[in-house]
Structure 1
């Protein structure tokens, strides 16, 4: 039984479409506008919405997945069940990608061949040993592949430069003052030997008695260096005065260097040795 209100609603004008679309959910948006129905001329390719739940790297990967998924003992593989599941997956591949299925068909043929050998009675060997299990070679390949796969996964989990971290690089500019090479003992000894050799070449056979003073010679060396930036080491010695004077002069140079009144420097290794006052500017 209908009331008058129902009749008036039935006979009255239909409501507008706007309020009715409020409760609908848009299936997409085209240029910002909601789309509530698919266009009649919309073409969707057959493989556009194809989803692959599992991606395998090869036949061994697929076979190992089937065995591990059902907790089969890899040393006692039920060939009939595994082969059936494997062939079912291969049929799906053949329907989509024939070139990819060729690699998997080779393993399928191997599974069928192993299953057929298991159905036949074992052939006795000539030496009477127990015949080998037809699945032994397949099990060996699966175990080796699984070890390599686990090792590859562990290596991939290690931190890698450029993927997980970056090498820190800091440029530090240091301004250092120029340092002259230090004069080693061997260089000083070689220079002294050269002074002695030259002094002996010009020595005279004159017997004289000369009082030599190290302090006086030190003063003479300081006066020779005064007002000059660098003086070569051999210029401090006068070979004409003999070896005795050269020895006293050398001792005076060593005393001055010990008291930090003079400095012995050289530009580079095996270069001439220079002497200068310690307080002179470089």
Structure 2
């Protein structure tokens, strides 16, 4: 008597309406010791960006900062609104209402201080929502000094970081309805070895009512339970699963494992038009262990939208 196993893939695609993840493509930074201009372009973001949401990032490598593979920062001065008195606050307001900035070295935020911090990975400057009304405008400084940070490093290198660019608030964001996708029942014998797949089911991620005005709209697939290392597209087992050694793999329409935890440009979105879109995808069972037990398989992921 053949044994069958019912496996249900329950994927809920949820977009927190205020969640924004923005990545900014930037020009090549100046050589070591030169002052740095961060951003310097139009940045379109939702008007209702929540407090603390990062909307743009700029990176400076050790080579750009001090001309080597590592640098040691000896001193940081931070200037709210791009001028005037320095502050030891790790989050500085900008002259654009609703937007603040933050400087990170080795992932740690710094205001005016003496870090004594050696870094080999890039320094990061962020723009983030700060809870004030987002009125938009050009990033600039006050008091005729439009720089927000000065950094000194061992070797006598010192430079200023200027913030430039135009912030454009957009009313509204895209919406993504939740959905449940049910895979067909599949015989465990069809998953005879690790890596075998079966029970493919096609589905679509629907992205609706994207407003006009954004320079780019992207989406990120985020497995609930975290990304499984060396298992592209595979979702961790969700609560209620009774099977073992078998999981769900999410794939694009051609059957290639989906890219997880990385922002992907929404094809078809046009700044002057906006609109609604569908992303064709599919999901399959996949054998993940040498020992497998029949039962119910569940997995889930969240779709995060980001705007620029």
State the TM bucket, normalised to the shorter chain: under 0.3
Q: Which has the larger radius of gyration?
A: 1
Whichever structure has more strand as a proportion of its residues is: 2
Whichever structure has more helix as a proportion of its residues is: 1
